[in-house]
Amino acid sequence: MKIIAYGIRDDELPYLKEWEEKNKIEVKAVQDLLTTDNIDLAKGFDGVVAYQQKPYSDGIFEKMNEYGIHAFSLRNVGVDNVPFETLRKFNINLSNVPAYSPSAIAELSVTQLMALLRRIPEFESKMKSGDFRWAPDIALELNQMTVGVIGTGRIGRAAMSIFKGFGAKLVCYDVFRNPEIEKEGFYVDTLEELYKQADVITLHVPALKDNYHMLNDEAFSQMKGGVFILNYSRGTLIDSESLIKALDSGKVAGAGLDTYENEVGIFDVDHGSQAIDDPIFNNLYNRENVMITPHSAFYTKTAVKNMVQIALDNNKSFIEKGTAENLVSLD
Ligand code: COI
């Protein structure tokens, strides 16, 4: 058995080598992201492992089928950049890593929220210019706030347990209710109800067709004034122009964003001194009450190790047994 892994960064290599030695299976590491231009490297291999934020094009899977490869394993959780119909057409199995470290994502979201509540960016920039006064940057305390968690999967639940530790009140919404959370009585029946109660709204749902721009003008209009918005899921969940309007009006007091709807080409790129050619992004990026990280919530040692090794386990399982623990349904 031979596996090829694309888009492998230097920090992933030790984990890949460790897996290779433990499993006695050859894994070829390719630095470049998977495209139709380099899929030919996969000829002669039994499975493909990949990770990227860019969409995977149809031609990749046509070639995989031609080379007799039917095992495709992602090292991340989101599958919104994979053309399901094409995989179905070529009978290619897809797996992801749904729980490489829910805490990694949850911890960054809470970190950014705390920085926003304690006005860290404002103090930092004031102090850099010699102004060490407190006012007017008075802070808020999380223990006095209600946090609305949208999506109570693994990441949402990891975030909830941290928020609980801070003494925040919780409300949450999900179409699929978790029995444990149900017992604790945190669910509200509608998003409107959550918007009405929450001082902080944190998104932990996958990107789907029917939640595109779920936070739009109408949703913001239903929220409390001075709400904080956190998005560590997918950029398409928020209409960025609506968010800008809500920040301008003060409806939204601050936002922590690890994702942006047009992030491909912006994140994971060294722009040097070159300006970013996206006025909407720049508008958000230049605000002190908006903290942006470049889709890096996942980027911890624990998460990266799990992403590499669980993806390889899945791929091996597809090759050996035709199925895997983290098989993604293509329906
Ligand atoms: C995912 O796992 O889907 C993520 O969003 C993190 C990714 C950038 C590695």
**CA 79 – ligand 1 centroid, Å:** 9
Q: Is 263 a residue of the active site?
A: yes
Calculate the dihedral angle through the C-alpha atoms of 291, 295, 300, 304, rounding to the nearest 10 degrees: 180
295 lines ligand 1 (CB under 6 A): yes
Burial class (CB in 10 A: 0-12, 13-18, 19+), 233: buried
Report helix, strand or coil for 292.
strand
Q: Find where tokens 């223990």 sit.
A: 143
Q: CA dist 144 to 120, 141, 168, 213, 215, Å?
A: 19, 6, 6, 29, 24
Q: What is the pLDDT along the chain (331 residues), one digit of tens a residue?
A: 999 999 999 999 999 999 999 999 999 999 999 999 999 999 999 999 999 988 999 999 999 999 999 999 999 999 999 999 999 999 999 999 999 999 999 999 999 999 999 999 999 999 999 999 999 999 999 999 999 999 999 999 999 999 999 999 999 999 999 999 999 999 999 999 999 999 999 999 999 999 999 999 999 999 999 999 999 999 999 999 999 999 999 999 999 999 999 999 999 999 999 999 999 999 999 999 999 999 999 999 999 999 999 999 999 999 999 999 999 999 9
| Residue in 12, 75, 204, 263 annotated catalytic | 263
Q: Is 234 a residue of the active site?
A: yes
| Residue in 107, 295, 320, 325 annotated catalytic | 295
Instruction: Answer yes or no: are the C-beta atoms of 218 and 245 closer than 8 Å.
Output: no
> Which residue puts its alpha carbon closest to atom 8 of ligand 1?
295
Q: What are phi and psi of 104, to 5 degrees?
A: -60, -45
> Which residue puts its alpha carbon closest to atom 9 of ligand 1?
76
Please count the other Cβ atoms lying within 10 Å of the Cβ belonging to residue 179: 6
Structural domains in the chain plus CATH codes: 2-100+300-321 (3.40.50.720), 102-292 (3.40.50.720)
232 lines ligand 1 (CB under 6 A): no
**CA 62 – ligand 1 centroid, Å:** 25
204 lines ligand 1 (CB under 6 A): no
Q: ipTM of this predicted complex?
A: 0.93
76 lines ligand 1 (CB under 6 A): yes
To test the pocket of ligand 1, the residue of 258, 298, 302, 328 to mutate (highest count of ligand atoms within 8 Å of its CB) is 298
Burial class (CB in 10 A: 0-12, 13-18, 19+), 248: exposed
